[in-house]
Structure 1
Amino acid sequence: MMSAITLTDRLSLATLAPAAERPGVSGPAVNPRALSTGMVHFGVGAFHRAHQAVYTEDAAAASGDTRWGILGVTGRSAKVAEQLGPQDGLYSVLTKARDATSLRVMGSLRKVAFPGVDSEEVLRTLAAETVHLASLTITEKGYPRTPQGSLDLASPAVAADVVALKAELSGGGFAGAARTPLGLLARGLARRHATSGAPFAVVCCDNLMSNGSVTRGLVLALAEAAGAGQMLEWLDTAVTFPSTMVDRIVPATTEANRREAEGMLGLRDEALVVAEPFGQWIIEDNFKVPRPAWDRAGAVVTADVGVFEVAKLRMLNATHSLLAYLGALRGYRTIAEAVSAEGLAEEARRLQRNDIIPTLTAPPRTDLADYGESILERFANPNLGHTTIQVAMDGSQKLPVRILGTVIDRLAAGEVPQSGALLVAAWMVFVYRGRDVNGRPLVLDDPVADMLRAAAAGSEAGLADRLLAVREIFPAELADHPEFRAAVAEAVRQLLSEVP
């Protein structure tokens, strides 16, 4: 018989048993108490909790291997640690299909650390021989790079982490809280090298082209800046950086979502995440250490991630951005509203079919036109509530990865990508106007927002030229192409007339 609980109780190990018996509720797939920590994850936000943590728990359940509990590491805020600490690391995933909702309690995240106070614990964990890998979802802006892609040594945060890494290498003891995720990772790897020297794997799961190579290059650059000679040799021979491609729509959790989950679970879950039913994970088979049986949980482990990666970033993420900027400007709150609005789905199809697909090699057993339609169908799920503003954030970081490669490839083929120009123009008008067609404000959430506002300031007539001149975003080969410039300027002119 179920024991009585009140709706004010929080999800935790103590309250889990009766909650798991409620209709529509499942999980955890493994006993959280039986899991030992075998991996560290940097960026323990909603996406990780709805994606890699789910695959990892399913892998443990499928294989019976309980070595893969996760130590999650927050970003600059302690918020997630404060949410999950009282819940013993437990949280739930509210899966929203078009016609059904389910709730699954997750137990793979065994502890959450905030670098501001827990950096030493993270370093010890990374060095432990029972821990074999680290993974990352720190978003595009979490990788401290110059416009040319090298480590941004001029960044005060990076400079501070280089000093701390030098202290770690010298054996001088704990050098204080880390300033960047990669700085903390590099210090942990230095400690591992100095103690056991056991092999390791770093698995990047962010939307970056060749994300494993990018991460490796930045970690090596940190080590070089700190003068880590012997550690560099070890990194080269014992540490691998598999590339990955990840896909699952994870909108921001709302208070309405929390109330719905509370009604299903009978408990309050402050760390709830919301997701669509679809999920995909492609992982490069590049490990010298044990790893979770992710392939038994539905992930694809392959020698070549690149063809999947390029198709997803260009097809799904670029389409997402087009709908976000055009939809936001036209007053649509969610991506589902935007893709259902007159003309916007057709704009998305033109982008995919005219500009993107001609630049791609199809992944195995994939029809790219059908893949494009499946993307639009996923975006149209009205139960997700994925907002245009959420997708529109960090445009300066996303545009180069999502669309500018496609533009460069089409220009090299002698074609002017008109839909690609429209996407770039929609972002420019979003930055410039700061409001939608109804006069409601549009928040510019971008790490270089001040620079963008300054570059955009001025007359409407010169807007395209001023923003194309921002070399941190637009390479000269693209920005100086006369026909592309003209296409962007015309699209900007048209959009400005729609959003007076």
Structure 2
Amino acid sequence: MSGRTGLSNATLGAAKAVRPAYDRSAVTAGIVHLGVGAFHRAHQAVYVDECLAAGETGWGITAVSLRSPATRDALAPQDGLYTLAVQDASGEALRVIGSIGALLVAPEDPAALLGRLADPATRIVTLTVTEKAYLRGAGGDLDLGHADIAWDLAHPEAPRTVHGFLVGALAARRAAGVPPFTVLCCDNLPSNGETVRRLVLQFAKARDSVLAAALAETVAFPSTMVDRIVPATTDEDRARIAASLGLDDAWPVKAEPFRQWVVEDRFTLGRPAWEHFGVTMVADVRPYEEMKLRLLNGAHSGLSYLGLLAGRASVSAAFGDPAIRRFVDGLWDEAIPSLPADAGLDPQAYVGALAERFSNPALVHRTAQIANDGSQKLPQRVLASARAAVEAGRPARHLTLAVAAWIAACAARGRSLPAGHFTDPLDAPLDAILAGDPPAEAAVAAVFAAAGFDAVLGPTRDPLTALTAQHLTILRTEDAAAAIAAAAG
């Protein structure tokens, strides 16, 4: 740190930034958030900050780290305050967020967290714990053999997992006659509310089948869709933000201007009036989830692989390449008709916003980072749209080019790209298939089989395999620009 005074309640008035427009001492905590990290602090906590400023002072956040004390250690001396730096091509705007009050570290005092969750004042429990923390087995159900699950079942008073804390607190509330809180998952899982409900009830059944049946009847698990790019904070960011703020901030966060939160409107004990602050409250999140997967994530995957092949290290650099921009426009044209037409979506406005986001040079979103785990991501992001297009008699040339570019980029590692530049769970079989550059159609067919794409594509497998192989041939013999030109016809 620089030796400047640190950010806190006492120094807040000196902060050269937009400051919380409410009396923090009047705020009470109605939300417990599990998994406090940069995304939560740049997303849900900001929406809650706006609700508090509008007078809904019963919805402050108790923020919980499930593993590391690092966030607590950084923010507790700052009374939970931190700076949000919103970045775009015009510069950086600073805002101090005040919605987080108490900060807990679960492993240090599990009983304290159980008590906070069981407190009648807690009405919503939000989660951003990442997919790994849900401890799913290969089939998608709860891994009851996991050591931490076994521990929680044997030691309900000192849980280690999300499941143990949620079920332990819900059991305590039920025993005390307190209605259950709403469990609001904000992780990037398809149908995240339904998924978390299934896992929590599986844990509850392993603990007590009567309890599980009661929770199944009374606990709401709304699904959500969240979106905002939040890069990791660097020491350079800390120094720059401190100089602008006039105060030291141990852990600011930075983000793009765009943010989106779509929430299924189903809560047991009320909720903030989030709809007044840009949150889309809906009966069904799934159409919005599909739009994000097929238009944002699908374009991200396609431009990342083509960007890697064309030497573009970031999203903004790749999107700034005229050929790759034409590819993205073509992919959107092919994917948009696969979205439901009667769900109230506005895909043209959405891709207009995406174009602005992809062009933002202030956020260095690395193509190599997006390229990771393609075998797991492409089915939802690209192949579902490609199958729908072929079944409807529409073109899928740009969608299949995205898949061919993934295969070509995998093959390029250790050649034109550094070895290990990005990774995939299927790296070993992919490397074996692609060694020696087998004929394109044979390579694509083998990759599709190894990745389980055949089951996703069903009767469209053969035509989509052939299209993908055509693109792969051009990527091998010419370059990304030539493949994009050929896809455009």
The TM-score bracket by the shorter chain reads: 0.7 to 0.9
Q: RMSD in angstroms over aligned alpha carbons?
A: 3.0
Contact 2:233 2:254 (C-alpha < 8 Å) held by counterparts: yes
Letter in 2 for 1:177: R
Contact 2:20–2:53 (8 Å) recurs in 1: no
The match for 1:334 among 294, 304, 314 is: 314
Structure 1 residue 419 corresponds to structure 2 residue 415: no
Equivalent AA in structure 2 for residue 53 of structure 1:
A
Which of the residues 85, 89, 98 maps onto 1:98?
89
Q: Which stretch shows the higher mean deviation, 292-301 or 144-153?
A: 144-153
Q: Partner residue of 2:187? A: 206
Note closer, same or farther for the CA distance 1:287–1:215 as it changes in structure 2 (3 Å cut): same
Q: Summarize the Cα distance change of 1:28–1:484 in structure 2 as closer, same or farther, 3 Å threshold.
A: same
Please state whether the residue corresponding to 2:121 is helix, strand or coil: coil
1:274 offset after TM fit, Å?
A: 1.1
In 1: Cα distance, 2:338 partner to 2:2 partner: 56
C-alpha separation in 2, matches of 1:15 and 1:32:
13
- Count of matched residue pairs: 474
Q: How does 1:161-172 map to 2 (within 5 A)?
A: 161-165=149-153, 167-168=155-156
Task: Give the aligned partner of residue 360 of structure 1.
Answer: 339
Alpha-carbon spacing, 1:119–1:430, altered in 2? closer, same or farther (3 Å): farther
Structure 2 contact 82–98 (Cα < 8 Å) conserved: yes
User: Aligned to 1:288, which of 263, 268, 273?
Assistant: 268
In 2: Cα distance, 1:428 partner to 1:131 partner: 48
1:41 paired residue among 15, 33, 47: 33
Distance in structure 2 (CA, Å) of the matches to 1:315 and 1:131 = 36
Instruction: Letter of the 1:40 partner, please give it.
Output: V
SS in 2 for 1:13: coil
Could you tell me which amino acid in structure 1 is paired with residue 413 of structure 2? G
CA–CA distance in 2 between the matches of 1:268 and 1:498? 52
SS at match of 2:214: helix
Alpha carbons 1:91, 1:107 under 8 Å: kept = yes
Range that drifts further, 334-343 or 70-79: 70-79
What is the distance in 2 between the residues matched to 1:87 and 1:29? 17
Question: Identity of counterpart residues, as a percentage?
Answer: 39
Q: How far 1:227 moved relative to its partner?
A: 4.1
Give 2:396's aligned amino acid: P
Provide the residue aligned with 1:406 in structure 2: 385
Higher alpha-carbon deviation: 313-322 or 80-89: 80-89
Q: Is the 8 A contact 1:436 1:442 kept in 2?
A: no
* CA deviations over 1:102-153 (Å, ceiling 9, x no partner): 1001111223333333433322222111101111223344443345433344
Question: Would the aligned equivalents of 1:134 and 1:203 in 2 still touch at CA under 8 Å?
Answer: yes
The answer (yes or no) to whether the contact 1:357–1:368 under 8 Å persists in 2 is yes
The change in CA–CA distance for 1:78 and 1:455 in structure 2 (over 3 A counts) is farther
TM score, norm. by length of structure 1: 0.85
What corresponds to 1:218 in structure 2?
Answer: 199
Deviation at 1:51, TM superposition (A): 0.9
Residue 468 of structure 2 corresponds to residue 488 of structure 1: yes
Question: 1:382 is matched with which residue: 344, 358, 361?
Answer: 361
Name the SS of the counterpart of 1:130 in structure 2: coil
Check conservation: 1:89, 1:112, Cα contact below 8 A. Answer: yes
Structure 1 portions without partners, runs of 5+: none
TM-score by length of 2: 0.86
Shift of 1:191: 3.4
- CA shift, 1:352, in A, is 1.1
For 1:260 and 1:92, the matched residues in 2 are separated by 12
Residue in structure 2 matching 1:474, options 438, 442, 453: 453
SS in 2 for 1:257: helix
What is the Cα deviation at residue 95 of structure 1?
Answer: 0.7
TM-superposed deviation, 1:75? 5.1
Question: CA, structure 1 residues 358+218, in 2 after alignment: closer, same or farther (shift >3 Å)?
Answer: same
**How many angstroms does 1:101 deviate by?**
2.1
Q: Matched residue of 1:60: which SS?
A: helix
Distance in 2 between residues matched to 1:79 and 1:120, nearest whole Å: 20
Q: Secondary structure at the match of 2:281?
A: strand
What is the identity, as a one-letter code, of the residue corresponding to 2:403?
V
Work out which of the residue numbers 418, 422, 447 in structure 2 matches 1:444.
Answer: 422
In 2, distance between residues paired with 1:124 and 1:432?
A: 52
Q: Give the Å deviation of 1:188.
A: 3.3
Q: Residue in 1 aligned with 2:22?
A: 30
**Is the CA contact 2:319–2:359 (under 8 Å) kept in the aligned structure 1?**
yes
Distance in 2 (alpha carbons) for counterparts of 1:274 and 1:422:
33
Q: Distance in 2 between matches of 1:76 and 1:345?
A: 41
